[in-house]
C-alpha cells in the first residue's frame, strides 16, 4: 500500500465544512489563542468536548502547563479574528477577549466553552485534549462563521431542524 500524500488528505478533509473556533488559554504571561476547526462534542454526561492541536503549535505547551482552555466558536463577520489567531496578525486590533470561568473567550462569538483538561491523547502529529466543560455561554441570535475548501463563508439559509424521536437512533439502509 502506498503512503498517502499529506496535501491530498488535507484537501479531502477541507471538503468537510466546519465551524471556526479560537482555542485560548490564560497563562502567567497573558492570554494566548489560535484558530482551529478541529473541535467536537464528545459527551453530554459528563460534558466533554475535544480539540486537536498540532505538535508545532506554540499554544501546545501553554495548554499542557495551564491545565485548562476555552473554545470560542466564531460568528459571521469575525473573519479578521480568525486570521489574526491563525498567524496573520491584524494591526490595530483591540483586545478581543472577555472572560468566562476565568478563561479568555472571544467577545461576540457564537458559543463559548471554558474547560478543564480531562485527558490528553497523543495522535500522530497532534495532541487531542478532552475538555470537561465547566462554563458555557451562547448567543442564539448569531450566525456561524464557516470554513470550507480553505475559505471562510456563511450559512446561506437555515431551515428548522426536524424533531428527533430518538437521539441514539441510527439509519439503516
- pLDDT above 80 (res 98): yes
Q: How far is CA 136 from CA 13, 37, 73, 130, 139, in A?
A: 28, 18, 11, 16, 11
In the block, which residue shows the cell 500500500?
1
Answer whether CATH 2.30.110.10 is correct for domain 7-154. yes
C-alpha span between 97 and 133 (Å, rounded) = 19
Q: Classify 56 in phi/psi space as left (phi over 0), alpha (psi -120 to 50) or beta.
A: alpha
pLDDT at position 171 over 90 = no
Average pLDDT of span 138-157:
82
Amino acid 164: pLDDT: 56
CB within 8 A of 139, min separation 6: which ones?
A: 75, 108, 109, 110, 111
Q: What is the CA radius of gyration of the chain?
A: 17
Specify the pTM: 0.85
Domain locations along the chain: 7-154
What local confidence, expressed as pLDDT, does residue 169 receive?
A: 52
Angle ∠(58,14,20) on CA atoms, nearest 5: 55
Beta partners for residue 133, in sequence order: 115
Comparing 12-21, 88-97, 139-148, which segment has the lowest mean pLDDT?
12-21
Burial status of residue 13 (CB atoms within 10 A of its CB: 0-12, 13-18, 19 or more): exposed
Instruction: Give the pLDDT band of residue 162 (cuts 50, 70, 90).
Output: low
Cβ atoms 20, 109 nearer than 8 A: no
pLDDT digits (tens, 9 = 90+) for 51-78: 999 999 999 999 999 999 999 999 999 9
Mind listing the pLDDT tens digit for each residue in 28-59?
Answer: 889 999 999 889 999 999 999 999 999 999 99
Amino acid at each position: 500500500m502506498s503512503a498517502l500524500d499529506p496535501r491530498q488528505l488535507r484537501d479531502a478533509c477541507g471538503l468537510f465544512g466546519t465551524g471556526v473556533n479560537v482555542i485560548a488559554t490564560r497563562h502567567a504571561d497573558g492570554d494566548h489563542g489560535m484558530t482551529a476547526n478541529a473541535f467536537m462534542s464528545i459527551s453530554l454526561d459528563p460534558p466533554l468536548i475535544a480539540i486537536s492541536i498540532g505538535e508545532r503549535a506554540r499554544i501546545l505547551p501553554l495548554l499542557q502547563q495551564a491545565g485548562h482552555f476555552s473554545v470560542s466558536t466564531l460568528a459571521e463577520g469575525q473573519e479578521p479574528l480568525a486570521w489574526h489567531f491563525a498567524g496573520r496578525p491584524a494591526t490595530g486590533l483591540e483586545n478581543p477577549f472577555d472572560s468566562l470561568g476565568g478563561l479568555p473567550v472571544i467577545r461576540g462569538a457564537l458559543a463559548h466553552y471554558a474547560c478543564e483538561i480531562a485527558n490528553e491523547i497523543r495522535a500522530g502529529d497532534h495532541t487531542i485534549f478532552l475538555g470537561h466543560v465547566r462554563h458555557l455561554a451562547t448567543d442564539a441570535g448569531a450566525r456561524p462563521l464557516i470554513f470550507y475548501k480553505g475559505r471562510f463563508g456563511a450559512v446561506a439559509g437555515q431551515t428548522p431542524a426536524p424533531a428527533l424521536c430518538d437521539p441514539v437512533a441510527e439509519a439503516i439502509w
